[in-house]
Amino acid sequence: MTTRERITLASALLVALACAAPAPPSPEFEALPKEGAYVIGAADRLRIDVWQNDKLSVADLPVRPDGKITLPLLDDVQAAGLTTDELKALLTQELSEYIENPTVTVVLLGAYSKRAFVLGEVRNPGPIPLASETRVLDAITTAGGFSPFAKKSQVRVLRYVEGRELEYRFDYDAYVDGDAPGTNVVLRPSDTVLVP
């Protein structure tokens, strides 16, 4: 084999290896703002404690589909769209009309409004909660893992941003083999993981 043939073969091999490696998520896919403080949403469950006032405290309070909660004295209060600290400040202000210097605590009992969906060849397809940082593999594990027929190298993550659908492909086999570090992306609310 001549030197020229060796160089051509080496170049072709490098190109093939570069094409075989899974692509990391696009900057547009990853550049979305990361969530800061948790924002309350419909279906979340809260505990409201008013210090030294058991009649105003509520142990397990659902956030209704319209985003409101119902509390003694205050009736309906908008909770969705606020952080727990913002809701605490609002309730403290509203209750101060009825009691002197109320001390209010707002605790998130269940984060049910922040969900992603895992569909396709997993054992338990459906919604999964995103109460903490959840990555693609975490979502698949929560859904019971791959079914025997899953095409693990063709997993897709769909994300809707400002009316546009962004897609990212995740290759499980390459990730597990260590050939695709950084590709196990963090899911955002309403993301869909499709396992063909």
Q: Are residues 85 and 127 in the same domain?
A: no
Please determine, for residue 64, whether its predicted confidence score (pLDDT) is greater than 90.
yes
What's the rounded Cα separation, in Å, for the pair 122 and 102? 49
Strands 192-195 and 115-120 come out as parallel
The tokens of 10 are what? Answer: 């080496």
Stated length of the chain: 196
* DSSP tag of 171: -
Per-chain mean pLDDT for the chain: 85
**CATH number of the domain within which 92 lies:** 3.30.1950.10
Residue 88 lies in a domain: yes
Contact (Cβ atoms closer than 8 angstroms) between residue 43 and residue 63: yes
Give the domain range for residue 101: 45-110
Q: What is the pLDDT of residues 65-74, one digit of tens each?
A: 999 999 999 9
Contact (Cβ atoms closer than 8 angstroms) between residue 57 and residue 49: yes
Q: Are residues 74 and 133 in the same domain?
A: no
What's the rounded Cα separation, in Å, for the pair 66 and 63? 8
Please determine, for residue 30, whether its predicted confidence score (pLDDT) is greater than 70.
no
The tokens of 100 are what? Answer: 């002197």
What's the rounded Cα separation, in Å, for the pair 95 and 104? 9
Q: What pTM value is reported for the model?
A: 0.61
| Total tally of structural domains belonging to the chain | 2
Residue 133 lies in a domain: yes
Q: Where among 87, 110, 133 does a domain terminate?
A: 110
**CATH number of the domain within which 150 lies:** 3.10.560.10
Please determine, for residue 22, whether its predicted confidence score (pLDDT) is greater than 60.
no
